[in-house]
Amino acid sequence: MKEHKITDYKKACLLLALSFWGLLMYFDFGAPILVKLFPLEWLVEYLDPIFYGSFFLLMVIVFRKALWKDIKDFVRNFDKYLDRVVIFGFITLVLMVASAIYLDSVGIGDSTNQQAIDEAIIQYGVLHIITIAVIGPVVEEIFYRGILFGFLKGRGKSIIRSIAAILLSSMIFSFSHTSIIDFSVTDMLANIPILMLGLTVTTLYWRTDNIFCPIIVHIVINTIGTLG
């Protein structure tokens, strides 16, 4: 049986998922401690580019056949996919902006994740912009949509299970952008725009079954947020 879907690589998906989440938790808990013990400020400065860059390379290598299949499919059906990308991209932007405006009106500002991103861009420049705008979205879409949603949805065509998979994977996606150490209800609410992003791009992936559709929307949204 030829492997044409990301979820066909079951062992690789499991190892990457454990590594991804394990490192995210480690950076939340372990990195601040290591910085106090050792002079690793330079490493912390470039933690995101190193983290996402490493997973980007791993995913491209491991899932190269599935990704190449989706690239060829996207090119063959460019007009159809472009229409869906534009429509879902617009919906995503509207939902994220509307939810951000509402949260601001009730006194809930940016999440700690967004504040950290803004600070990193100001302090460390171009490399972090590329990571946030391009590399990060590719890694997160392959992980949260290709792997997590793919396994939650399964091979069947149950609409109920698919909707449940969309909701659960999107909530996990949003929660992963909240610091465990600095966790608060306010910060979770501040991540509602990220939840909106998760819901729309996961639905887009469900309707197209092509990972490059949500990747493009995510890149556009992050680029607008980074340069805005």
Tell whether 123 is covered by a domain. Answer: yes
pLDDT tens string 181-192: 666 777 788 899
Question: CA-based angle 23:5:76, to the nearest 5?
Answer: 120
Helices of type H across the chain: 10-37, 41-45, 47-62, 64-76, 78-105, 112-124, 126-130, 136-140, 150-153, 159-175, 185-190, 192-208, 212-227
CA distances from 114 to 5, 156, 174 (A): 32, 36, 12
Residues 116, 124 contacting (CB under 8 angstroms): no
The whole-angstrom separation of Cα 129 and Cα 114 is 13
Q: Residue 209: left (phi > 0), alpha (psi -120 to 50), or beta?
A: left
Tell whether 171 is covered by a domain. Answer: yes
Tell whether 1 is covered by a domain. Answer: no
Evaluate if residue 203 carries a pLDDT over 90.
Answer: yes
pTM as predicted: 0.89
Supply the residues annotated as catalytic. 140, 177
CA distances from 210 to 156, 178, 197 (A): 17, 28, 17
pLDDT tens string 30-64: 666 666 666 666 666 777 888 999 999 999 999 99
The whole-angstrom separation of Cα 152 and Cα 205 is 13
Tell whether 53 is covered by a domain. Answer: yes
For residue 93, what are the domain limits? 6-227
Tell whether 22 is covered by a domain. Answer: yes
Domain total for the chain? 1
Tell whether 79 is covered by a domain. Answer: yes
Tell whether 186 is covered by a domain. Answer: yes
Q: Which pLDDT belongs to residue 197?
A: 97
Rounded to an integer, the average pLDDT of 22-26 is: 82
Q: Which pLDDT belongs to residue 1?
A: 40
The whole-angstrom separation of Cα 203 and Cα 119 is 31
Question: 109 is written with which tokens?
Answer: 């500002």
Tell whether 31 is covered by a domain. Answer: yes
